[in-house]
Amino acid sequence: MAIGESPTAKRRRLGLLLRKFRTEAKISAEVVSQHMDRNDAWVSRVERGRTGLRRLDLERLLDLYGVDGSMQAELADLAKAGRERGWWSNYSGVLSRQYSSYIGFEAEASRLLIYESLVVHGLLQTESYARKVLQVGAPEEDPAVIERKVEVRLNRQRRLTAERPLRLWLIFDEAVLRRVLGGDLRVHVGQLDHLVKMAELSNVRLQVMPFREAGHPGMLSSFTMMEFPNDPAMAYIEGLTGDLYEDAPESERYRVVFDNLRASALSEPSSTSLIKEVAADLRRDL
């Protein structure tokens, strides 16, 4: 499957439509679960695009909702696309379901608004820095598994230079510039140089939240706001015990937070200057 064609996003689109039809038909999730001989969690997973849908199950749902034949055919095609496998399925042996789900949404997004407080975001990591992040984060991990995960990260980055590139607006805390993972200065300086280079792309915008901003909304959590060409935006928050996705209208609070962050952060030219300054300071110690 080509970059940008995501079965994960297709499942979400189908789920949004099914929830719309169920709501318009004034049928509760409990009634649906009884009709389908499934539990309420199944209905929620389908409507949130977290699971694929067999054609027979789809037909039973649409009959229950009173959806006509022409729309049934269109949704059947969408359900079929949602059962396909994305390029990341080739790495299923080393990726968690949560991470695979995120990659699926990222692959369909047209723009990402990201605040990152800990490390350089995966889409802008160099190969060496990505490897170091994975080694520091899981020192007991099999080196072969780490290499496969690095491949995934580099594959994700292809969208930034594709014919129709992903647009990225990323704000990260100044600590990200100064945190040298594993004490490897050479890797870190190379990563900072890479950030400067990536900031030159017309589809990439970088800002730094300086230390002088002692308190700001981003202190609570890193997050990603994902915008799609045909579907509502959603927010993604990575957690230690599980990932959280917020659909509209809840996701809009993250857009408000991002707007406040970009207003408080350094301008793009000043951010690039700071990155260069930190890199130059560290280069003297090489």
Helices 40-47 and 29-36 sit at what angle, rounded to 10 degrees?
Answer: 110
Task: Assess contact for 50 and 102: CB atoms under 8 A.
Answer: no
Its pTM stands at 0.85
Q: pLDDT by residue (tens digit) across 198-222? A: 999 999 999 999 998 666 555 567 8
Q: pLDDT by residue (tens digit) across 143-168? A: 999 999 999 999 999 999 999 999 99
Between 74 and 276, whose confidence is greater?
276
Task: Assess contact for 184 and 75: CB atoms under 8 A.
Answer: no
pLDDT at residue 4 above 60?
Answer: no
Q: Determine what percent of the chain falls in helix, strand and coil, rounding each to the nearest 5.
A: 55, 10, 30
Residues 6+ apart with CB under 8 A from 33: 39, 40, 42, 43
